[in-house]
Amino acid sequence: MNLRVRQFAQAVMLAGFSALAFADQPRDATQLLERMAAAMSQMSYQGTFVYMRGDSVETMRITHVVDENGVRERLYSIDGPRREIIRDKNGIRCVMADGQAVMEDPLVGGSIYPEIPYPVTSSGNRLYRFTTGGKGRLAGHEARRVNISPADQYRYGYELWLEESSGLLLKWVLYDNRRKALAKLMFTELRLGADVEEGELEPTSPPESFQVVETRMPSRAAVRTTPRWQPEQLPPGFKLTQHNRVGGDGDSVYEHQVYSDGLASVSVYIEDPTDEKTATHGLQRVGTANAYSRHVGSKHVTVIGEVPTITVKAIGEAIRLPQAGD
């Protein structure tokens, strides 16, 4: 995936929610989050939202339909460079007018919302604190606030605003350990259920007029249980959740690993160095994400995620060379 497409995908395609049962009368933060997860996975909705990241502000529109045909979604920009994403059971088609690229990849999935799986909200979780806040009004709907606060310096926090009657997420704010907002998404207009106009699912950008960029991940046969390259030590709570490996003859290998604490995720890319990557070393900022790059033996290692710099650097510095026989 080229950098332009990767930045946009990271900005708007954060992973989707797990389906969880509705709580009849949610009283605490955990119940509210369970109700939100069910709403996001089971409800159809349509609306306009503003996405803010640093000095960048974008207005976008989304149509999300859940029916007998599965999940169908269309997301497109209203201002700025033309961007359009179509998601359905066949995968994702991403049209980027400024880079004239169309991304097609059935293994890329998710939504515009942060993922909060059930284990993260359990009482035994010591990585985050979940609390309820006040009430307000957003996009013409009554809303309630839930705070997700990190317990240490290795992860960021969230402020979530949920629609009172359905639990749908109307606004989220990603903030650092100093409570500085790093990114924000807020609906300004929203329709629910039967009010959704399914005609807006139809794309307006002709894919044939753009360059097609293949970004397919390796097949399941290429996935290893244990990475050849791995960190000797991880920040508290982070575990390996995904691993893909391409190649196997000699040292010509590309590896992609994902480490997560259940909410925050960090990707590790291990590949042969190129002229562009050779010049990349140390810490970098990519939108709301931090990245850390270094050489380990004959490979170039890049660690990237929406986590503090201390986290990507700790993981990057801990990557070790494969031992003989690995």
Confidence of residue 197 (pLDDT cuts 50, 70, 90): confident
- Tell me the mean pLDDT in the region 135-142: 95
Query: What local confidence, expressed as pLDDT, does residue 123 receive?
Result: 54
Q: What is the DSSP letter of 54?
A: T
Find the mean pLDDT for residues 42-70: 90
Q: In the prediction, which pLDDT does 215 show?
A: 43
98-102 LR contacts (CB < 8 Å, sep 24+):
98/4, 99/2, 99/4, 99/5, 100/210, 100/211, 101/2, 101/4, 101/5, 101/210, 101/211, 101/212, 101/213, 102/207, 102/210, 102/211, 102/212, 102/213
- Please check the confidence at residue 47 and state whether its pLDDT lies above 90: yes
The domains of the chain are located at 3-214, 220-320
Look up the pTM and report it: 0.76
Helix H or strand E encompassing 230: strand 230-231
Asked whether the predicted pLDDT for residue 205 surpasses 80, the reply is: no
Residue type, 16: G
Reported as a single tens digit per residue, the pLDDT across 3-25 is 333 433 343 333 333 333 333 44
| Whole-number percent of the chain with pLDDT over 90 | 40
Which range among 29-33, 130-134, 210-214, 258-262 shows the weakest confidence by mean pLDDT? 210-214
Q: Are 267 and 276 in contact (CB under 8 A)?
A: no
What are the respective helix, strand and coil percentages of the chain, to the nearest 5? 15, 45, 40
pLDDT, tens digit, 9 for 90 and up, residues 80-124: 877 888 888 877 777 776 554 444 433 344 456 666 655 555 655
Q: How many helices (H) and strands (E) does the chain have?
A: 5, 20
The CATH architecture annotation of domain 220-320 reads 2-Layer Sandwich (3.30)
**Per-residue pLDDT at 318:** 94
Judged by DSSP in three states, 134 sits in strand
Which range, 22-26, 212-216, 300-304, is most confident?
300-304
Residues 156-166 have pLDDT tens digits of 999 999 999 99
Is it the case that residue 147 has pLDDT exceeding 90?
Answer: yes
For 311, counting Cβ atoms within 10 Å of its Cβ (0-12 exposed, 13-18 middle, 19+ buried), the class is buried
At which residue do the structure tokens 């380990």 appear? 296
* More confident site: 174 or 119: 174
State how far the Cα of 146 lies from the Cα of 144, in Å rounded to an integer. Answer: 7
Query: What's the pLDDT band for 312 if we cut at 50, 70, 90?
Result: very high
More confident residue, 30 or 4: 30
Residue 46 has pLDDT above 50, yes or no: yes
Pick the more confident residue, 125 or 263: 263
Q: Which two tokens stand for residue 263?
A: 């909410």
CATH topology assigned to domain 3-214? outer membrane lipoprotein receptor (LolB), chain A (2.50.20)
